[in-house]
Amino acid sequence: MNLRNTFFGIILLSFITSCGGDDPFLFQDDFSTVPEQFSTSGVTPDTTETGLIFYELEVGTSLDSVTIRDVVAVYYTGRTTDNEVFDSSYKNGRTDPTNFEVANPSLVDGFSEGLLGMKEGGRRVLVIPPELGYAGTSNSLREDTLVFDVELGTIFF
């Protein structure tokens, strides 16, 4: 084996072992840069007809609000009720928002519903019961209530 192949092998092995966990082929998200959970202290929650609970922390400043037809840029962090982060726009050191089609069928229903009516710069906490989350799927969170901190960046029409 020549020096070039040895060097390539060391680099590949370093990459594989840096993915984390006991399984070197399993990549684990890094949630170390996720902001602290939004405080709902002193805020009265609203409950929709479907059972979604949301706390309106900040209304936002734009004239327009999110509709089901929009694409939006969102900063978000999803936690279980025991405060375990399972997803975030901040994962792996990201600092820019994630773009979503509000009507995207891959979003949990409660997340899409919770974005409706928000204005740019608005902040909400969404408490999504299992039936508006992953119930009926094979996702490991299918029986969990989900809590999302959401900040709306931009509405794209």
Domain ranges of the chain: 1-29, 31-156
Cα–Cα dist 151/157, whole Å:
18
Q: What is the 3-state secondary structure (H, E, C) of the chain?
A: CCHHHHHHHHHHHHHHHHCCCCCCCCCCCCCCCCCCCCCCCCCCCEECCCCCEEEEEECCCCCCCCCCCCEEEEEEEEEECCCCEEEECCHHHCCCCEEEECCCCCCCHHHHHHHCCCCCCCEEEEEECHHHCCCCCCCCCCCCCEEEEEEEEEEEC
Residue 6 has pLDDT above 50, yes or no: no
Residue 3 has pLDDT above 70, yes or no: no
CATH number of the structural domain 31-156: 3.10.50.40
Residue 20 has pLDDT above 90, yes or no: no
pLDDT given at position 27: 62
pLDDT given at position 35: 95
Read off the pTM.
Answer: 0.82
Residue of 74 and 10 predicted with greater confidence: 74
Residue 26 has pLDDT above 80, yes or no: no
Joined together, the tokens standing for residue 145 give: 């209530």
Digit-coded pLDDT (tens) for 82-138: 999 999 999 999 999 999 999 999 999 999 999 999 999 999 999 999 999 999 999
Cα–Cα dist 92/69, whole Å:
29
pLDDT given at position 157: 76
Mean pLDDT of 139-145: 96
Distances (CA, A) of 73 to 36, 102, 125, 143, 153: 20, 10, 16, 28, 5
Cα–Cα dist 148/125, whole Å:
6
Residue 16 has pLDDT above 70, yes or no: no
Digit-coded pLDDT (tens) for 57-84: 999 999 999 999 999 999 999 999 999 9
